Amino acid sequence: MNQIALLGALESGLVFGLVAFGVFISFRILQFPDLTVDGSFPLGAAVSATLIVGGHDPWLATGIAALAGGAAGLVTAWLNVRLKILHLLASILTMIALYSVNLRIMGKPNVALLGEETLLTPFESGSLPYYVTTPMVFAVIVLLILVALVAFLYSETGLAMRATGANPRMARSHGIHTGRMVLLGMALSNALVAIAGALFAQSQGSADVTMGVGVIVIGLASVIGGEAVMSTRTMLLSIIACLVGAILYRLAIATALNLDLLGMKAQDLNLVTAVLVTAAIVFPGMKRSLKGVFARGDSP
């Protein structure tokens, strides 16, 4: 693997690290299997790309993308908490609806960002090539988000959110409004995923309505992979593991594609991911990984 491919894998690993943070919040903390992600990732891309093409500041565009993602998460949580729709189904409904919403936002199936002022543009004028500066910029953004997220999870509110997922009855008896915690957590989760979508669109140079397909599986693979390779004894370690898992996942994919392993091609990516995630769920050595995620039918 050459240096460009390696840095490219690192770059998308950082982006999908944000997806993994989001998936960790929904699947692990809230025990809420959330497929909204497949819609909120392209939503973040669509919102930011449309705003950037419209001449708006790329940081503002990314911020608004995060708000849009948060709103998508709120819709899913609301369907579940207020209308009592099964969490998995609620998230599928939002995901399907977002496909139309994303087409409406962009007005067409994709928006090109070539030659537009993205948040990466100011760093491109220096002596370093784009494939070095992009992962550096993303690393700074992702690490800042990681620090803020960990601080949140150790806060009183963050602790209340963790208790909501782990033992909703006990949480309520200690005065925690569990419904509100699910709303907040799902908004936070999908806001992170939308930021990932916005960053991805800006680094790839376009937003596409189909770019969300399978994002949830990549997010899950990252969370599980991270848990398999390192200790997740504390919240800090768990969040770091998500990022490590995402980067390792992208590196593994890049390696497999580069080595022409077993004659695999790019189109086999989703199949390989599905097989790997299944193996991780079933393989007893990784039993901690997905156990409990699908075991519980009801949400808090």
Residues that bind another protein (CB under 8 A): 151-152, 154-160, 162-163, 166-167, 169-178
Nearer to another protein, 89 or 170 (CB): 170
Nearer to another protein, 233 or 265 (CB): 233
User: Minimum Å distance from CB 143 to another protein?
Assistant: 20
User: Minimum Å distance from CB 276 to another protein?
Assistant: 26
Token pair for residue 117? 């002022």
The CA-based diameter of the chain, rounded to the nearest angstrom, is 59
Of 234, 202, 249, 198, the C-alpha closest to 17 is 249
Return d(Cα 274, Cα 277) in angstroms, integer. 5
Return d(Cα 172, Cα 163) in angstroms, integer. 9
Element containing residue 207 per DSSP (H, E): strand 206-208
Element containing residue 208 per DSSP (H, E): strand 206-208
What distance lies between CA 126 and its chain's CA centroid?
A: 30
User: Minimum Å distance from CB 151 to another protein?
Assistant: 8
Nearer to another protein, 123 or 152 (CB): 152
Return d(Cα 239, Cα 55) in angstroms, integer. 35
Return d(Cα 116, Cα 56) in angstroms, integer. 10
Torsion of CA 130, 131, 137, 140, to 10 degrees: -160
Contact at 8 Å (CB) between 55 and 111?
Answer: no
User: Minimum Å distance from CB 153 to another protein?
Assistant: 9
User: Minimum Å distance from CB 288 to another protein?
Assistant: 11
Nearer to another protein, 143 or 288 (CB): 288
Contact at 8 Å (CB) between 209 and 103?
Answer: yes
Nearer to another protein, 104 or 174 (CB): 174
Nearer to another protein, 108 or 233 (CB): 233
User: Minimum Å distance from CB 79 to another protein?
Assistant: 20
Of 44, 38, 21, 34, the C-alpha closest to 77 is 34
User: Minimum Å distance from CB 158 to another protein?
Assistant: 7
Signed CA dihedral, 47, 133, 152, 250: sign only: positive
Nearer to another protein, 169 or 265 (CB): 169
Residue with tokens 């990681």: 146
Nearer to another protein, 129 or 292 (CB): 292
Burial class (CB within 10 angstroms; exposed 0-12, middle 13-18, buried 19+) of 56: middle
User: Minimum Å distance from CB 179 to another protein?
Assistant: 9
